[in-house]
Amino acid sequence: MAETIGAENRYENLMKHIGQYSLLGLLLVSGILFADTETETPPAESGAQLSLDDLRTFTDVFNQVRNNFVEETDDHTLLHAAIRGMLSELDPHSAYLEPDAFREMDNSSRGRYSGIGVEVAIRNQAIKVVFVMSGGAADKAGIVAGDTITSINGKDIRGQNLQTAIGDLRGTAGTTVTISVMHESGEVSSHELTRDFVKVSSVFSRPVDKDYGYFQITHFTRKSADELLEQIEYMQEHHEGPLKGIVLDLRNNPGGVLGPAITIADGFLDSGLIVYTKGRSANQLEYTAKPGQWLQGVPMVVLVDRSSASASEVLAGALQDHGRALIIGEKTFGKGSVQSVLNLRNGAGIRLTTSRYYTPSGRSIQAEGIRPDVEVETVEVVENEDKRKREADLEGHLNGETAPGAGGTISSEVSAADDYMMYQALILLKGASILSNSGS
């Protein structure tokens, strides 16, 4: 009770001194003091609490901007700018989410969003279309991968904030957006597109070299683990005999929802720690695997690159530490921080970094990344056009005879020029299979 009275007295004294400041300053002061009275945590260390001078500085800045900025700006806009600035100064991943952005993030985690049906990337200061979803508005308009979006709703986006421009492509289902695109031929076309909900698959698969399975996870949604298991079971059912190995491709996977990545790691492990977190909160999290595997005993390679981040790194790190998979590719991005999404009463939310990820062996992912077991750089391979002749090219050459049971060479339908890292993964899988058979 004494502490509450003390807080009220401090509040009354402050009000006497800051009458010349805006109502915003008063609200901030009362909010800070009442927050102190409602918590049972010990007092903050000296210098951690805001002083009256700190609050005066804030309201000084607020009023200077309000009164002197070249364009008139309302208090609501300034307050939200202050909130965004506070969060953006913490780290690259904490952010204030306006209600529309908050709903969009929730839709994305569910594997759907309202838009024109394209995946885009910022390349060389331009918005490039990298994938067009079948049946979406962009697909119906004839937009294809490789096109460059040059304007949105009549506004030239060159020199603008491209992340904001990408956000303008999304919107409420049923609304329209007009875009101009430059095709690779140099031709420019304009299209009025109607946004709609697009269901985004996150897992793609295909058999390669007859006895091997390829599974790509582009990002993690709440459905990713179910999608992967469904495609593994389908491939097993339609394959003659057991698979000899699988490739799990996490290249260019920026992460997403953590839960499915943990479920997938659990699917390939029988027991042991998958990942744990550390932060300021006493309630740290540990995730462990349960008995049972999806493809027990089947050799596995995981492909990663410098764009594999967050949940991708958690999955790769767990499989690497347990020796369940060989990690091939480049050192990963190194985003090992946990973002908690917190609801606000106005329908908005904040994404706040609250802890760090650690692999089962205790390695920190943050700013360190996952170092692959076999480092393979992303390179462009040019087919060899060597015109020199071999014996078989000579006229009248003798035919060779192969002894029964003699082994052949290791080859793949995936060429090094098509996908060098994938080619290396398959060669390693096949080499491991040969060594295993020869030793049995």
Catalytic residues: 310, 321, 335
For residue 241, give every residue at least 6 positions away whose Cβ sits within 8 Å of its Cβ, in sequence order, or none: 211
> Which residue is listed with tokens 């089962």?
360
> Which residue is listed with tokens 């303008």?
168
> Which residue is listed with tokens 């004494």?
2
- Retrieve residue 120's tokens: 């885009």
Of 67, 90, 89, 62, nearest to 78 (Cα)? 62
For residue 30, give every residue at least 6 positions away whose Cβ sits within 8 Å of its Cβ, in sequence order, or none: 11
SS (H, E, C) 80-120: HHHHHHHHHCCCCCCEEECHHHHHHHHHHHCCEEEECCEEE
- CA–centroid distance for 320 within its chain: 20
Q: What Å distances lie between residue 163 and 31, 228, 245, 332, 351, CA to CA?
A: 33, 30, 39, 23, 17
- Dist CA 244 CA 262 (whole Å): 24
- Dist CA 138 CA 132 (whole Å): 7
